[in-house]
Each structure stands twice: as C-alpha cells, then as structure tokens.
C-alpha cells in the first residue's frame, strides 16, 4: 500500500512539473561578430534581447549561452563545438557562421564540410539545430555568391534542420542599420535581427505549446 501511495505522489509531482513548465535545456549560440555584439554594449546585442524575449514568453525560460566570437570561422566554431556541447548540454544549437569564411574567399565546399559536421555534432548531442544563412558582397562574383549561399539551403535540406536563409534581411543596405564598415549591424539593427530569427527559435522551443499548457 505504501509503495502505491508513493507512486501516486511521484506521478502527481511529475505532472505538476510538466504543467508548470520544467526548465528547458540551454540555447547555445555559436556565431561570429554578428552575434557577439560587435562594437556595442553586450546588452544591446540581439542575443541579450533574446534572453529578455524568452523571459517574457515563458515562465521557465531556457538559459542562453552566447559562445560567439568576433572573427570566428566555421573551422574555429567546429573546433570549439564538442567542448561547448559537453559543458552546456544544450537543447538548441544556433549556428551563425560562414560570413568570415566568405569574406576570406574560402572554398564553399570547405565551408559546407565544417557546417555539416557541426550540424551532425549538434544532432548527436540531442540538440535541435537552427542554421543561420548569410550572404557576401557582390564584388565576390555571382558564381561564388551562388555557391556560397547554396551551402546553407543544401545543408538544411540534407539534415532537415531549421534555416534562416538570410540573417541580415531588412538590415543590410538599410540606412542606420549598418556600421561604417558596411559589414556589422548597428545597435539599432539588433531588434530586427531578433525578429528575423525569433519565429524559428519559438518553433524549435515549442513555446506556443508551453503557453497553451500553462495558460489553461
């Protein structure tokens, strides 16, 4: 009889935790200067804004780990990812890399191989992956740009992962949205970057489902 009572209480406790919204595994951002709040206060960057948005969207927001480094390449991200996965055990991995590879004229095949391995490592660690696409300036030539941009769409299809085709949509070439170097977004552009990626993150985090449960 006693063990039956204990089982009932254990089941009730598990159900209560589920309804209340159990803490989710962290969101890991592995990016470059676009995610590292380059040349602005860290609190102004889109990743910090994401933390605020998550706190508003759910009673149990996941922790956000920003492992982005200005100047980072896909090779650098790949070399760091295994340790990051082991340390943080994320539920979602956002890969925002490739821009610096493109600016250096690296072969798209090499960029693809690095990102391919990063996506695979994230999946093997039990995390959902969000791949963030980027473009490069027209002066790199139409053929190179086409091959470079195709890397992201091809990988997303191959691995069936969420893809944001162009992170700087509504930011690049817009007045007041880019710093003087023409490469890095301004602080004013950070809310737009968050809006660009938010629908994908909300989907993979299943925030709508959690709101329905907690609000019932």
Q: Is 106 exposed, middle or buried (0-12, 13-18, 19+ CB in 10 A)?
A: middle
Q: Which of 32, 35, 135, 184 is catalytic?
A: 184
Catalytic residue list contains 33: yes
Structure tokens at 38: 């380059």
Catalytic residue list contains 159: no
How far is residue 112's CA from residue 110's CA, in Å, rounded to a whole number? Answer: 5
53 closest CA partner among 91, 27, 20, 31: 27
Q: Which of 70, 135, 181, 216 is catalytic?
A: 181
Q: Which of 33, 68, 88, 101 is catalytic?
A: 33
Catalytic residue list contains 113: no
Helix (H, G, I), strand (E, B) or coil at 41: coil
How far is residue 198's CA from residue 129's CA, in Å, rounded to a whole number? Answer: 14
Q: Which residues are catalytic?
A: 33, 181, 184
């Amino acid at each position: 009889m006693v063990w039956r009572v204990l089982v009932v209480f254990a089941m009730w406790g598990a159900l209560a935790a589920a309804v209340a919204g159990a803490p989710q595994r962290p969101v890991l951002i592995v990016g470059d200067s676009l995610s590292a709040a380059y040349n602005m206060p860290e609190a102004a960057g889109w990743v910090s804004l994401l933390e605020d948005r998550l706190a508003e969207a759910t009673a149990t927001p996941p922790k956000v780990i920003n492992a982005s480094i200005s100047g980072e390449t896909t090779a650098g991200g790949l070399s760091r990812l295994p340790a990051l996965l082991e340390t943080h055990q994320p539920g979602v991995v956002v890969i925002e890399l490739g821009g610096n590879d493109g600016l250096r004229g690296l072969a798209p095949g090499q960029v693809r191989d690095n990102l391919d391995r990063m996506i695979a490592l994230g999946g093997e660690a039990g995390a959902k992956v969000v791949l963030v696409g980027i473009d490069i300036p027209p002066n790199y030539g139409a053929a190179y740009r086409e091959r470079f941009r195709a890397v992201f769409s091809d990988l997303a299809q191959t691995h069936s992962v969420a893809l944001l085709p162009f992170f700087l949509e509504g930011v690049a070439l817009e007045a007041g949205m880019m710093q003087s170097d023409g490469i890095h977004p301004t602080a004013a552009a950070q809310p737009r970057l968050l809006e660009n990626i938010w629908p994908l993150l909300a989907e993979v985090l299943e925030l709508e489902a959690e709101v329905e449960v907690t609000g019932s």
